[in-house]
Amino acid sequence: MQSLYIIKIGGNVIDNSESLHKFLEDFTALKGYKILVHGGGKVATQLSETLGIEAKLVDGRRITDIETLRVVTMVYGGLINKNIVAQLQRYGSNAIGLTGADGNLIKAKKRPIKTIDYGFVGDLDDNSVNANGISSLLEAGFTPVFSALTHDGDGQLLNTNADTIASALAVAMSGLYSTTLIYCFEKKGVLQDIDDEDSLIRDINPERYDELKAAGIIHSGMLPKLDNAFSAIDFGVQAVIIGHANDLNKLNDEASFGTRLSK
């Protein structure tokens, strides 16, 4: 089975031009099939402020009303996505920029209203990703670059968490390829001490994860990321790696890139 990397980059990489260019050069140098997933960084918030649209957040989660959806569509699906695609072409990667609506590749359901109405936010399920459609792009020599936008099949675009998109892609594609999911962010990986970059934990399996949670070493913002990662592994993803975007060129040397999560 051929290998596939699905790599997600966060806003901190997108917001730093130098880091982004280095990352995209390293991404292009990776051999084999690959897919890039990106969020939006600070640009959407800055544009909202310029347009006088107030950002609404509940527990750190953005409420996507119709005005906000217009902004994130312009920024995620337009400005950021096409800039990344242009840079990848420059480095020799034949990238194609996508939302979930393109080719009906990722279909979501609007999040139901419970205690909070999140607006035009999409949730994914087991049947959301069109794996065969994405595979046909890979086999034709394209490198898909997904922004954090999906659609509901009835003409409505939906703002969707980029981590969730990356995880859903990895699970769906693992039926066709030997898939590794990589989250690139601003730390070297999962750290024993959040303030000490040299306290990297190299490998975590489910038992070790339970120990680290019980000891309070892994908590708050890292928990949903790792819960998602182990869930993806349970559904067939070969491994999940969390590491610093600047270190992607060390990926082939497994001993020196990030934290590897596996069974």
Confidence (pTM):
0.94
In this predicted model, what pLDDT tens digit does every residue of 35-54 receive, in sequence order?
999 998 788 889 999 999 98
pLDDT of 168-213, one tens digit each?
Answer: 999 999 999 999 999 998 888 888 888 888 888 999 999 999 999 8
Q: Supply the pLDDT for residue 154.
A: 97
Give the percent of the chain with pLDDT over 70: 99
Average of per-residue pLDDT values in the chain: 92
For residue 114, count CB atoms less than 10 angstroms from its CB and return exposed for 0-12, middle for 13-18, buried for 19 or more. Answer: exposed
| 8 Å CB contact between 79 and 20 | no
Whole-number pLDDT of residue 254: 61
- Residue 263: name the closest of 180, 209, 205 by CA: 205
Between β-strands 143-146 and 33-38, what pairing exists: parallel, antiparallel or unpaired?
A: parallel
Position 4 scores a pLDDT of 97
pLDDT tens by residue, 71-125: 999 999 999 999 999 999 999 999 999 999 999 999 999 999 989 999 999 999 9
**Binding-site residue ranges:** 40-41, 62, 159
User: What is the C-alpha separation between 241 and 151, in angstroms, rounded?
Assistant: 28
**Element housing 225 (H / E):** helix 222-234
Confidence band, pLDDT 50/70/90 cuts, at residue 57 = confident
Q: What is the pLDDT of residue 55?
A: 81
**Cα(89)–Cα(130) distance, integer angstroms:** 25
Architecture of domain 3-261: 3-Layer(aba) Sandwich (3.40)
The domain segmentation of the chain, as residue ranges, is 3-261
Query: What b/e sequence results for 116-151 when a residue is b if at least 16 CB atoms lie within 10 Å of its CB, and e otherwise?
Result: eebbbbbbbeeebbbbeebbebbeeebbbbbbbbbb
Distances (CA, A) of 123 to 158, 184, 227: 9, 22, 16
pLDDT given at position 217: 86
Mean pLDDT of the 142-157 span: 98
- Reading the block at residue 247, the tokens are 């270190």
- Highest mean pLDDT (candidates 114-118, 132-136, 245-249, 253-257): 132-136
What is the structure's pLDDT at 263? 84
Which has more confidence, 5 or 45? Answer: 5
The per-residue DSSP string of 1-57 comes to --EEEEEEE-HHHHT-HHHHHHHHHHHHHS-SEEEEEE--TTHHHHHHHHTTPPP-E
CA atoms of 107 and 122, how far apart (whole Å): 9
Q: Where is the binding site for substrate, in residues?
A: 40-41, 62, 159
Q: What is the pLDDT of residue 150?
A: 98
